[in-house]
Structure 1
Amino acid sequence: MDSGIECTLSKFADDTKLCGAVDMPEGRDAIQRDLDRLERWARVNLLKFNKAKRKVLHVGQGNLKHSYRLGGEWIESSPEEKDLGVLVDEKFNMTQQCALTAQKANCILGCIRTSRSREVILPLYSPLVRPHLEYCIQLWGPQYKKDMDLLEGVQRRAMKMMGAGAPLL
C-alpha cells in the first residue's frame, strides 16, 4: 500500500489518511498521484475505500481548496472531521471540541448526580468524567478563555454536587 507514495500516509485500524502540503501545484499533483496509486492498490487487492468516509479537509489560510478524485469519483470537501475522537476543523479551532467534551462530561455528571453522597460521586468522577476532560488535551488544549471556563465549569459543577471546595483533579 505504501509503495511509491510521495505524501504522508497514516494508517490506523481500518482508517487510511493521506496528507500533503499544497503550497504549489506540485503538491496538489502529488496528492492526486498518491490517490491514484491507492485506488490501483485497492483494485489489485480487491478492496474498496468506504465512500462515506472519503473526505478532504483543507487547512491553512489562503488554501485554494483543490478538488481530488479517488477512482472516477470526486471526493467531498468537509469543514471539519473527527480523528480518534478529536474534532479538527480547517482552522484548527478547538472551540467545538471543548463544547462537545463539556457536554459529554456534564451528561455523565447528570447520571451520577442521583447520589448526593461524596463517597459515591468522587469515585465515579475520576473514571467516568475526568478522562473526557483530559483526553488528548495536549492536542486540543483550549485556546480561548471561554473554552477553559466551559471545561472548568464541569469541575465546579462536580465540586458543588459534593458540597466540597477541594479540587477534583
Structure 2
Amino acid sequence: MVRPHLEYAQSVWSPYKKKDILAVENVLRRASKMLPGLKNHTYPERLKALDIPSMVYRRMRGDMIETFKIINGYYDEAVNIALERNTGPTRGNSKKLAKGRCKTKKRQINFRLRIVDVWNSLPNDVVEADSVMRFEKLLDRF
C-alpha cells in the first residue's frame, strides 16, 4: 500500500538532494520492517524477499524507459522533447546522447541532463531493443 504513494511522490516531486532521496527510501525501509517475519533482516534482504527493487532503481528505470520511448519515436510529433544526440565517434552504444553544460543545480537535475550518464553507460544490445517490453527486460538484466 505504501509503494504506489512513494512512486507517485517521486514522479511529481522528483527528489534530487541526497537527504530527500534517503527520506523517500526510508519510508519503504520502515514499511518493509512492519511485515511479519522480515523485521530482523537487512533492508536489501527484505527487498529481495519481497521481490521489489529500491526506490532509487525504480526512478532510474522509469527515466530510462521514457528515454527509450523518446529516442525511438513512441510519442506523438507534437510532443517536443528533443534529446541531443552525440554526433561524433563514440564507444559503447550507438544511440549516445550529448551531455549539455549548465551552471545551476536546478538545471542539472532536469530530465534531459540527469539521464545522459546512465543512458550512455548502457550496452548497445539494450538500447537497440525492438520494443519497450524487450528494452525493459534487457535493462533489468543489465
TM-score by length of 1: 0.27
Q: Which has the higher strand share?
A: 1
Work out which structure has the larger RCO, using CA pairs closer than 8 Å and 6 or more positions apart in sequence.
Answer: 2
Q: Which has the higher helix share?
A: 2
